[in-house]
Chain A
Amino acid sequence: MKDRRPSLFDVARWPIAFVAFLLLAWEGAVRYLGIRSIVLPPPSEIAVVIATRYDLLLTHLWPSLYLTISGFALSVVGGIVVAVLITYSEVLRRGLYPVIVVSQIVPKISIAPLFIVWFGTGTVSSLLLAFLIGFFPMAINSAMGFQSIDEEIHKMARTFMASRWQVFWKIRLPTALPHIFSGMKISVTLAIIGVIVSEFVASQEGIGYLIKLAGGLLDTPLMMAAIVVLSMSGLVLYWIIELAERRTIYWRATVENLAESGG
C-alpha cells in the first residue's frame, strides 16, 4: 500500500545517528578535558559497567519493571472503566469528570510519602503510586475518546435501530481507540516515574533504590548505568504500545487521510 506509515526504522534512523554523534562528542570531551569519572563518566565506562554488572542491574530492574507494568495495567483498566462510567452517567460526567480534570494539578509525586505512611515501604505503595499517576491521563483520554463519536454516525446508527450496547462496541470503542492509545503512552511513562519515586522514598530494592544507593556511594558510573537501563526499558514499553497501536488502528494511515475521509 502506498499510504502506509513509514516503518519504525525509517523514523529512527536520524535520531539514532544524532545520539551516536552526541555519545562520541561526550566521550571525546570527557577524555580531552580529563573530567573525573565520579563527576561525569564517559559512555564507554557506562557501557562497561552495564556489561560487567548486569546481574546487579537486572536484579533491581525486574521488581521496578514488574511494578511499572502492573501499575500501568491497573491504570489502563481503571481509566477505561471510569471513562465508560463518565460517558454513560450524566451525574458522573457532571460531577466526577471535572474533579478528575482539576485533580491533575495535584503533583501525584507529593503523595508518595503519604502512601508510605498508609501502606508501608513495600510493593503496595509503589504499585498504588504507579497506578494513581497513570490513571488520570488514561481516564481523561479515554473519556474524551468515548465522547468524540461523530454525531452523524450516531444518527445513522440510531436510524438503523442500534442499541446503546451496539453503539458502544461497534462505534464508540473503535472511535476511542486512538485516544486510548495516546493515554496509554502517557500513562506508561508516568507509571515508571511513580515506581522510581516511591523507590527513592523508601524501598530496599528496585532500580530507583539502586540509583539512590549508587549516588550515596558516589559510584557515578553505576548510577548512570542504572539510568540507561531504566530508560531503555521505558523505551521498550513505549515501543510495544506504539506497535500495538499500529496493528490495532489499521484504518488510520495518516492524519491527512483521516481528515479527508471525515466528510
Chain B
Amino acid sequence: MKPDTRLKLDARSAHEAGDLNAVRLCCIKKVFDELEAIRNVSLDVAHGEFVSLLGPSGCGKSTLLMMIAGLLFPTSGEVILANAPVRGPQRDVGVVFQNPVLLPWRSVIDNVLLPIEFLRLPVEEHRARAVELLKMVKLEEFADALPRQLSGGMRQRASLCRALIHDPGILLMDEPFSALDAITRDELAVELLRVWQATRKTVIFVTHSIREAAFLSDRVLTMGRRPATVIDEVHIDLPRPRHIGITEEDSFNKYVRHLRKSIETSHEG
C-alpha cells in the first residue's frame, strides 16, 4: 500500500505518548443486582494495537467496552486510560455503536461534526477534516444528504467518521457491523482496516463474529459467558495490510478453528 498522506491528519495519534499501554484494565469485576456479570478481567492494550473481544451475545463484552468509554463503572478493579483512572467519558475516546445512531435531522457532515460541537471545539476549522474523513470512506458525495437517504452500510461509515472527527487516540467499536448484511460487513471490515492503517488508532473491537475478529485484529481475547471472563488470548500473526482474500487461506482458517474451539469449550464448562 502506498504511504498514506492522510496520516498527517492525525497528528496526535498512537505512538507519541510515553507510556506503554493505551488502555489498561485491572481485575475488573462488575455485579448487577447481585448477578456477577464480569469476573476478574485484566487487559493491557498497547498504543496502535487492534484488539478484539470475542464472545457470545450477552457475555458482558459490551459492558466492558462501556466501562472504557466511561459510561459504566466497575464494581471493583480499575480502568486506566493514559495513566489515569477513568471517572467518566474521555476526550481521547471515539465510539462506534452497533447502530449508526445518526441524528435524522442533520446532514451527514453535520452528524460527523457533532462531537466537535459537544466538545466545544471550533466547528468551521474541523469541516475540512470531516470532508477528508468522509472521502476516506467514500462518502464525500453524500456529505449534505440526510441519514435516511443512506444505506445501512453508508450510515455506519458515517458513524465511523464521527468517532474519528476529534482525532481520539482510542477507538471503541461495539459490534459495529452486526446489524449489516454479510456482504456489506466484509466491505466495511476491509474499509476499517484501511482507515486503521492510515490513522493507527488503538482499537478495541467487540464482536461475536469469529472471522471478523481474526481478520481485523492483532490480538483476539475470547470471553466466556456469565460471569464473563477472558478464557483465551490469541495473537493473529498474519501480514498486514490484509486483503479479504486472506480469509480463504489456511493460515487464517487455522486461527478461526482455534478461536471456535476455545469458545466451544467455554460453553461446555
* Mutual binders A and B: yes
B residues less than 8 Å from A155 (CB atoms)? 71, 97, 101
A residues less than 8 Å from B148 (CB atoms)? 251, 253, 257-258, 260-261
Contact call A160/B103, Cβ cutoff below 8 A? no
Interface size of B by CB at 8 A reads: 25
A residues less than 8 Å from B115 (CB atoms)? 160
CB distance from A176 to the nearest CB of B (A): 12
From A20-28, A115-123, A166-174, give the one contacting chain B.
A166-174
The reply on A263 being an interface residue by CB < 8 A is yes
The reply on B118 being an interface residue by CB < 8 A is yes
Given contacts A261-B147, A263-B152, contact A156 B101 (CB under 8 A): yes
**Measured CA separation A163–B88 after assembly (Å):** 12
**Measured CA separation A263–B155 after assembly (Å):** 10
Contact call A251/B117, Cβ cutoff below 8 A? no
The reply on A153 being an interface residue by CB < 8 A is yes
The reply on B85 being an interface residue by CB < 8 A is no
**Measured CA separation A129–B69 after assembly (Å):** 51
Nearest chain-B residue to A177 (Cβ)? B105
Taken residue by residue from 58 to 101, chain B's Cβ proximity to chain A (1 for < 8 Å, 0 otherwise) reads as 00000000000111000000000000000001110101010101
Given contacts A156-B97, A253-B148, contact A162 B118 (CB under 8 A): yes
CB distance from B180 to the nearest CB of A (A): 10
Partner of A159, one of B69, B99, B104, B152: B69
Given contacts A158-B89, A159-B71, contact A166 B117 (CB under 8 A): yes
CB distance from B101 to the nearest CB of A (A): 5
B residues less than 8 Å from A260 (CB atoms)? 148
The reply on B31 being an interface residue by CB < 8 A is no
Would you list which residues of chain A between 208 and 263 have a CB under 8 Å from chain B? 249-253, 257-258, 260-261, 263
CB distance from A141 to the nearest CB of B (A): 19
The reply on B231 being an interface residue by CB < 8 A is no
Partner of A157, one of B70, B104, B118: B118
**Measured CA separation A258–B103 after assembly (Å):** 12
Contact call B91/A174, Cβ cutoff below 8 A? no
**Measured CA separation A178–B196 after assembly (Å):** 39
Partner of B105, one of A156, A163, A174: A174
The reply on A152 being an interface residue by CB < 8 A is yes
**Measured CA separation A240–B115 after assembly (Å):** 35
Contact call A170/B114, Cβ cutoff below 8 A? yes
Nearest chain-A residue to B115 (Cβ)? A160
The reply on A33 being an interface residue by CB < 8 A is no
Would you list which residues of chain A between 152 and 198 have a CB under 8 Å from chain B? 152-153, 155-163, 166, 170-171, 174
A residues less than 8 Å from B89 (CB atoms)? 158-161
B residues less than 8 Å from A152 (CB atoms)? 97, 99, 101
Contact call A263/B104, Cβ cutoff below 8 A? no
Contact call B118/A160, Cβ cutoff below 8 A? yes
CB distance from A263 to the nearest CB of B (A): 6
Partner of B103, one of A153, A161, A252: A153
Given contacts A251-B148, A261-B148, contact A160 B101 (CB under 8 A): no
Contact call A251/B104, Cβ cutoff below 8 A? yes
A residues less than 8 Å from B105 (CB atoms)? 174, 249-251
The reply on B131 being an interface residue by CB < 8 A is no
Would you list which residues of chain B between 201 and 260 have a CB under 8 Å from chain A? none
**Measured CA separation A263–B117 after assembly (Å):** 24
Can you give 25 contacting A-B residue pairs, CB < 8 Å? A152-B97, A152-B101, A155-B71, A158-B71, A158-B89, A159-B71, A159-B89, A159-B93, A160-B89, A160-B95, A161-B91, A161-B119, A162-B118, A170-B103, A170-B114, A174-B105, A251-B104, A251-B146, A251-B148, A253-B148, A258-B104, A258-B148, A261-B104, A261-B147, A263-B179
- 10 shortest interchain CB distances as A-B pairs: A160-B115, A261-B148, A251-B105, A162-B118, A159-B95, A160-B118, A156-B101, A161-B89, A152-B101, A251-B104
**Other than the known A152-B97, A160-B95, A261-B104, what 15 A-B pairs have Cβ atoms closer than 8 Å?**
A150-B101, A153-B103, A155-B101, A157-B118, A158-B89, A159-B69, A160-B119, A160-B166, A161-B91, A161-B119, A166-B118, A170-B103, A174-B105, A253-B148, A263-B152
